[in-house]
């Protein structure tokens, strides 16, 4: 993760979703966005698991 919007954690807890952007930005563009670095997945399907490793 390279940036986390100010309400991303709250949205995940209360609404059950966030927006992931695979662009490596160091500052969140929108309050509910989490920016990440790395390869963009070829496909994301219901039930798949996204794992963040620090």
- Contact call for residues 33 and 18 (beta carbons, < 8 A): yes
23-54 tens-digit pLDDT: 999 999 999 999 999 888 888 899 988 887 76
The reported pLDDT for the residue numbered 5 is 97
d(CA 43, CA 35): 18
The reported pLDDT for the residue numbered 53 is 76
The reported pLDDT for the residue numbered 49 is 87
d(CA 24, CA 40): 11
Burial environment of residue 21 by CB neighbours within 10 A (0 to 12, 13 to 18, 19 or more):
middle
The reported pLDDT for the residue numbered 51 is 81
């Amino acid at each position: 993760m390279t940036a986390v919007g100010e309400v991303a954690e709250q949205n995940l807890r209360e609404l059950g979703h966030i927006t992931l952007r695979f662009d490596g930005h160091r500052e969140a563009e929108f309050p509910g966005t989490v920016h990440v670095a790395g390869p963009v997945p070829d496909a994301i399907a219901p039930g798949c698991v996204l794992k963040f490793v620090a």
